[in-house]
Structures are given as structure tokens and as C-alpha cells.
Structure 1
Amino acid sequence: MRNRVVMAALVVIAIVAGVLIYLKLTPSGARSGRVWDFLTDPASHADWKLAAGSRCGSAPFIFPTDGMAGFLWDDSFRVGHRHQGIDIFAGTEAGVAPVIAAYDGYLTRLADWKSAVIMRVPSDPLSPGRQIWLYYAHMAAADGTSFIAEEFPPGASEIFVAAGTFLGRQGDYSGDPNNPVGVHLHFSIVKDDGQGNFMSELSIRNTYDPSPYFGIELNAKNNDGQPPLCNALTRLHSPHFFSFRYSISPIHPFFQEEASWNSEIKSY
């Protein structure tokens, strides 16, 4: 009996040690710690946030929502996992922080999508003539109540949307009401399959590094460990850009990494 107790204690110690090593010694772990710090006290870390509609220098994309870019492209939350986009945390309750279009494009929302939309960009601003797709996810409550703008109902297809247009609000939808994610926007740039369709966003091989599109280092492998920021931010002045005011309030500190919760994306 005593041996079992000792073994159980050793297992617990090993698990705790592993978590501490992950949080302290790995870049993704350090980012997890910063996201935790931000979500538990966003007001004290307001300088970690980027503003919706801001543009870094001459980068083609504007930032799609207010918040801290907490998890980056090619982050890893477990062995074999590679994050396909960026997760932006506003530090608000679900259904508060607005999400806007980062670039002009044609919006589609498949009939069964509760929290996501995807926008077709016919000509990549960094590679003219190449078609790309911009994917926005988690715009719904934990129970599946959608926060997507009414102008884009389920089944919407090829609706032209200008940069800065209101798309919805950040949510915590995961597909499982009992296991919501922390409130955030997941944004990724998805490759075209060459036949005019978007590829599956669930593989990083089907996405592009968003860093050059925003003019901010959003590649986990190149990030210096600090929250990604831009020192040359300029406000986009556009008739399509909506100004929003909302207060930042602490939310429950619980948050989770993404695994298969982007299941609304389909492979064609």
C-alpha cells in the first residue's frame, strides 16, 4: 500500500514538474503564462493589446479585433501539434469585442457554421494573382448562439466585404457547451486548392504565416517571447470602419488551447 502511495506521489510530482518546465522553458509555455496573466487582469496589461482597425506601417492587413495576440502561428500546445493561425484575446466577456474584416474580400458562411466565416481574397496583396482565404472563428457563445453579424446568415455566399466591415464579436464556442475555450478570435490565412476552393485549415501546411500581412512578428518560431506589437501603428480611416466602445472587465481565468475546435472549417 505504501509503495502505491509513493508511486502516486512521484507521478504527481513529475506531472507538476513537467507543467512548470513547459511554462518556464518553452516559448509556447511562456506565451501560455502571458495569456493567463492577461486574462486574469487585462486592465494591467493594456499595453499588450493591438487595436481593431490599426495598421502596422504599410502592411496590407488591418488588425481584425482588439486584443493581445496570445498564441501565434506555428505555436505548439502538445507533441505533434502546430497552430495554424493566431489567437487574439480581448479580455472581455463573450459577445463584446468586435471583429472586423482585415482586408477586402468575398465572404462565405457555410450553412452549418455557427461561429465562423471565411473570406475569399482573389489576389493576394503579397503575391498578386494568387488567391487566398481569411478565416475567422469562435464568434459564438459556448452554447452555439452566434455572434456573427446578421448581414451574414448561415448559407451566405460570396458577399463582398470591405476592410473594416463589422463581422461579429469574439466568443468562446468550442463545439462542446461543457468545455468552452477562452474568449478570443482565431484568425488564419488559408491556401487555395488551385480549383477556387479553400483547403482544410486544420493543417498548418494549408496556411500562410500571417506576419508579413500584418507587419508584425506573428510566427512563433521567430517571436522574442514578448507580446507581438507594432511601433508604427496607424489608424485606418475608412467609411467602412466602425468605432466601438466597450469596457474591459476581468473574466474567469479559465482558458484552453485549441485542438480540433476549428471543426467548422471543411476541406474541399
Structure 2
Amino acid sequence: MTYLSDMGYVHRDLAARNILVDDNLVCKVSDFGMSRVLEDDSESAYTATGGKIPIRWTAPEAIAYGKFSSASDVWSYAIVMWEVMSYGERPYWEMSNQDVILSIEEGYRLPAPIGCPVTLHQLMLHCWQKEYSQRPSFSNVLSFLDKLIINPSSMITLVNDALSFPDSPEEMPDYPLFISIGDWLDSIKMSQYKSNFLAAGYTTLDSIATMSIEDIKRIGVCLIGHQRRIISSIQSLRLQLHHIHQSGFQV
């Protein structure tokens, strides 16, 4: 994909189903039926109208405005990473395409598959930034993955550097550090569930960071939209707490 991007190609349909694997386990990108060439500038974008779009693999700006670029391919590449790490799960599971679109707009991102290294999931999240200009380039991604391949033990030590790509204009968003569960729920306009969390024994931010979607349902959050908003915020909180603990601070 680094090669294709450097050559000015936008694939538009990156997905595990379009990756061929030969006898030597070499993976090759295939199916260029939707691809286009950016002849003037490989860093630019083009606007498409009409036609079907693979919603679950497509960046939000491409869905909303038909704006495709190498950055939208980077978004799709991270979905492929998630497919591989989840051993072929369907992205967003049984959610409808419309629910996927709304969830992404609200800030929801796919959680880390079971057993997925934190470093790789942070890379996915960086590729899924809403602003396409803030996503890493394919050359950034390639350089980072090369480091992991050469030195797999760095999978842990590189956690704090997972989002430090040379050409990236911004680091991971600086999420506010909430003093209490009430403050956190207030910030995402879900304060009506304070008693639900406390009654279920979730009294610290660290305990909240371990919650899954099933835990959210179990404490009485029944509305799907509210479940999505809370679990998305928990993902952000989890990353923030991880960085804080790595730095030696206690919450």
C-alpha cells in the first residue's frame, strides 16, 4: 500500500476479502475495480459520486462527501488489521450500515480484539482519526510495523510511542482526566446512569476502564445509542489511564 500510495493510487476497497495469500504466505492486494489514480498529486484527493460503497471499511469523509484519498485507504487498512487480529470477525458485527455510520460519527471505534496487543490497537485508533489529515501515512505505518517485526519484544516498550509518527501533525487527543465517575458521566451527558454504575460497584475510573459492552448492558443501560456513547468514551478513558500508569502516576 505504501508503493501504491506513492504511485498515486487510491484503492477504495481495502478489505481482508481482497487480500490474496500465496503458497509462501505472501499477501498481495487485489481487486482494483474501484481504484483511481491521482495523477496531479499523490497527496491530494478526488471526489466520487454514485456507486456502492463498502460502508464498514470506508472512512467517514468518503461516506459523507465521496472524498477519497490515501488517508481514506489508511482508514480501511486499519479495518483490515482488525479483521486479521479478530480472526475474520465481521467489522461492527451485526450493526446495520446506518448504525455504523452514526456510531462512527459519534466517536465509536472498534474495540481491540481479544489478545490483540495494545500497541496494534493504538495504531488502528490512530488510523481511524476523524480528521483525515491527522492519520499516519502508509510510509509511517510501514516504518512503525517494521520496527515491531525486527524487534517483537518492543511490542510492549513501544506502547507509549505507538502514536508518535514523524509526519503526524498531532499526537493522540488529550482526553481530560476526570476526578470522579460523576464528572466523567457528566462530560458525555450520561449523568442519569450515575446510580447504575455505583450500585453495580463501579466506583473508580480504573474499574470503569475494564468494562465491556455486556457490562454496560448488565448495569441497566438499555438504549443502544447510550451504550455506544459510553463504551466509546471508555475506550478513550482506557488509553488515557494506560498512558498515565505507564508514566508512573496513580489515579
The normalised TM-score by structure 1 is 0.25
The answer to which structure has the higher helix fraction is 2
Higher relative contact order (CA 8 A, sep 6+): 1
The normalised TM-score by structure 2 is 0.26
